[in-house]
Amino acid sequence: MKFVSEFRRSELAKGLISQIHRRSKTPVRFMEFCGGHTVTIFRYGIRHVLPKTIDMVSGPGCPICVTANADLDKAIALAQIPDVIIATFGDMLKVPGSHSSLQEVKADGADVHTVYSAMDALKIAEDNPTKHVVFIGIGFETTAPTIAASILQAEERRIRNYYVLSLHKLCPPVIRALLASGEVKLHGLICPGHVSAIIGSHPWEFIAQDYSIPCVVSGFEPLDILQCVDMLVAQTESGESRVKIAYRRGVRPEGNQQALKLMEQVFEPCPAQWRGIGEVPDSGLKLGKKYQCYDAELAFDIDPGPTYEPTGCICGDILRGVKTPADCRLFSKTCTPQYPVGPCMVSSEGNCSAYYLYGEGFEG
Amino acid sequence: MCLAIPALIKLIEDKEAEAEIGGLTRRISLWLTPEAKVGDYVLLHTGYAINILDQEEAEETLKLLEEIARLTEEES
């Protein structure tokens, strides 16, 4: 595929790896925020080709993983209301809430559809005018504008039975919360590529300025990650801390203004609960006043009851970067991709799933 | 979850387009990239083009990486 295979060329990877080895002298810890980056790093064995001076740690950039049980329970409660059709991205199906999952309630008769796009959810609403279609709005700044567009499309096409449960989250505020806690000492941050395609690189400036941590926005192919690590090493070795873009073909400093405009038109910031991190101010998105008629939480009376966290699961600590799946007693024993206990094992971009799939973190 | 892949725009109809993705054709939304033209590559995320791919920048990056590989080869 064009613009994909070129960025997997092994002879170019060798050049970057040599340059990183030559440049890197001081021990550093870099975090890749995004779960998509975690997958690339594991799939291509990037941790193993980096010098011992570079310690890579994964961050909380997996929207499924960071969704709090209280919010999952709302989605599951909505699915159990008569005449409600749930439309959701597939990754959400198996995520266990406090008492059940969307997949389990679907098996018990709830009408749950897996969709590829919010557009598909709109189509289901159009095709089922006597039902209420609730789209589980999950995702970061990459996805939120697509959901905003779907709501504007619903308005334009006068689709009155389409609702969104908005569980969207914003990345810069949670990175600020992580850094402010001081729990993880970082020397560089690999910033999410497709979040930055929307918001640009400017929203990361505070990390370089307030915390003196270099930031580089990366793409998702192995050469992108290696180039990003090289650019971070160049900064840490010279004592610089700036925001740079390695993924220049996909990200402009100012982001996508049209997408930002639609997102701001439909949503407004609100506090959000992050698994393992807690409530972070202005890190969520709720529907703005004009679009509240599409808000599933306002349209339906839901009471999911008290939340419950699975005993022994350390997904929260893993998401903060303070523990790894190898530290978890449940990992690969009672928690596997087939029978996941925590969300980081369910999502294909979860840290535990990546460890499991690519053979890391196993004893012996 | 934030996965986006390059898609080549073949035909535009209002706010939608027909795009080729690794040999497959599918309808995508241009609500977020109304300035996209036929022949542009866009980053496709959940059915929506979220940005237009900058082909010149892609070539520049590859040139830079080729230069790094060449220098490394020479040094070794």
Q: What is the pLDDT of residues A77-120, one digit of tens each?
A: 999 999 999 999 998 999 999 999 999 999 999 999 999 999 99
Where helices occur in A182-287 by DSSP H, the ranges are: 193-199, 205-211, 222-238, 257-266
Residue A260 lies in a domain: yes
Alpha carbons A265 and A268: distance in angstroms, whole number? 8
Confidence of residue A362 (pLDDT cuts 50, 70, 90): confident
Please name the member of A14, A250, A349 whose beta carbon is closest to the beta carbon of B72: A14
Alpha carbons A92 and A86: distance in angstroms, whole number? 11
How many domains, chain A? Answer: 1
Residue recorded with tokens 């979850």: B1
Q: Which of A102, A93, A194 is nearest to A139 (CA)?
A: A194
Alpha carbons A56 and A44: distance in angstroms, whole number? 14
Q: Which of A238, A197, A205, A169 is nearest to A25 (CA)?
A: A238
Residues 30-59 of B with CB under 8 A from A: 31-35, 41, 43, 45-48, 50-51, 53-55, 57-58
How many domains, chain B? Answer: 1
Structure token pair of residue A135: 């789209």
Q: Which domain holds residue A73?
A: 66-170+255-299
Residue A181 lies in a domain: no
Residue A128 lies in a domain: yes
Looking at the complex, does the CB of residue B11 fall below 8 Å from at least one CB of chain A? no
pLDDT over 70 at A199, yes or no: yes
Looking at the complex, does the CB of residue B5 fall below 8 Å from at least one CB of chain A? yes
pLDDT over 80 at B76, yes or no: no
Helix, coil or strand: residue B70: helix
Give the model confidence (pLDDT) of A159-179 as tens digits: 999 999 999 999 999 999 999
Residue A124 lies in a domain: yes
Chain A CA closest to residue B47: A117
Q: Which of A307, A350, A352 is nearest to A330 (CA)?
A: A352
Give the model confidence (pLDDT) of A116-155 as tens digits: 999 999 999 999 999 999 999 999 999 999 999 999 999 9
Chain B nearest CA to A305, separation (Å): 28
Whether A149 and B48 lie within 8 Å, measured CB to CB: yes
Structure token pair of residue A141: 């700044």
Mean per-residue pLDDT over chain A, rounded:
96
Handedness of CA B33, B39, B40, B44 (dihedral sign): positive
Which CATH number do you get for residue A98? 3.40.50.11740
Looking at the complex, does the CB of residue A167 fall below 8 Å from at least one CB of chain B? no
Give the model confidence (pLDDT) of A208-234 as tens digits: 999 999 999 999 999 999 999 999 999
CA distances from B9 to A118, A220, B36 (A): 20, 21, 8
Whether A118 and B47 lie within 8 Å, measured CB to CB: yes
User: Within 13 A of A212's CA, how many CA atoms are on the CB side?
Assistant: 5
Give the pLDDT score at A363.
63
Optimal mutation site among B65, B68, B73, interface A, most CBs of chain A within 10 A: B65
How many CB pairs (< 8 A) connect A and B? 151
Chain A nearest CA to B15, separation (Å): 11
Amino acid at A308: Y
| ipTM confidence | 0.96
Whether A152 and B31 lie within 8 Å, measured CB to CB: yes
Structure token pair of residue B35: 């300035």
Which CATH number do you get for residue B11? 2.30.30.140
DSSP state of A340: -
